[in-house]
């Protein structure tokens, strides 16, 4: 337990102590949210998809929290993951955001599916997963959202 606390504190110190390295990076175009649409978007226009987690440092191991994106059944790698510290809370919250940029936009109909993961024990405690857990830090999916978008020419 002491080791987990020490590692968590080290992560927080690193995140708070290096704010310039953790500054938000560039996103292209408008954000498309999997939980809020839209169902249509202009063809060829830049956009990005961003989702993730806002966590307290005590929610560990932080590295098990994850977000993945599928487009038309194929997983796509994120362009980057932002790690942003929110010092307005005590202790500071850590915001992990997986960002997928689409600078050239898309054409036609596409299906976007987001998958959110967290440690099993945390998911059971929050009521997001029924359990049981083979191990407390086993990575389990707690949310899956799909959005169908038609990229239309004007």
pLDDT in tens, 92-151: 999 999 999 999 999 999 999 999 999 999 999 999 999 899 999 999 999 999 999 999
CA separation for the pair 6, 42 (Å, rounded): 49
Return d(Cα 98, Cα 121) in angstroms, integer: 23
Please work out, in degrees rounded to the nearest 5, the angle formed at the alpha carbon of residue 106 by the alpha carbons of 100 and 108. Answer: 135
Q: What is the pLDDT of residue 154?
A: 74
Tokens 């036609």 sit on residue: 108
For the chain, the farthest-separated pair of C-alpha atoms sits apart, in whole angstroms, at 59
Q: Looking at residue 8, what is its pLDDT?
A: 37
Domains, the chain, with CATH or none: 2-152 (2.60.40.10)
| Measured CA distances, 69 to 24, 73, 76 (Å) | 20, 9, 6
What is the mean pLDDT of the segment spanning 48-53?
97
Residue appearing with tokens 């560990």: 60
Q: Could you tell me the pLDDT band of residue 6, with boundaries at 50, 70 and 90?
A: very low
Which pLDDT value is given to residue 62? Answer: 85
> 112-139 burial, b for 16+ CB within 10 Å, e for fewer?
bbbbbbbbbbbbbeeeebeeeeeeeebe
> pTM of the predicted model, to two decimals?
0.81
């Amino acid at each position: 337990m002491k080791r987990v606390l020490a590692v968590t504190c080290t992560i927080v110190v690193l995140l708070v102590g290096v704010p310039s390295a953790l500054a938000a990076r560039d996103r292209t175009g408008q954000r498309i949210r999997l939980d809020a649409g839209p169902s249509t978007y202009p063809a060829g226009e830049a956009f990005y998809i961003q989702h993730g987690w806002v966590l307290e440092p005590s929610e560990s191991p932080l590295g098990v929290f994850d977000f993945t994106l599928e487009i038309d059944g194929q997983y796509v790698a994120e362009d980057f993951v932002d790690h942003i510290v929110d010092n307005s809370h005590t202790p500071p919250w850590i915001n992990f955001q997986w960002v997928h940029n689409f600078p050239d936009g898309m054409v036609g109909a596409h299906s976007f599916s987001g998958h959110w993961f967290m440690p099993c024990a945390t998911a059971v405690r929050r009521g997001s997963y029924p359990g049981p857990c083979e191990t407390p830090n086993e990575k389990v999916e707690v949310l899956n959202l799909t959005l169908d978008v038609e990229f239309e020419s004007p």
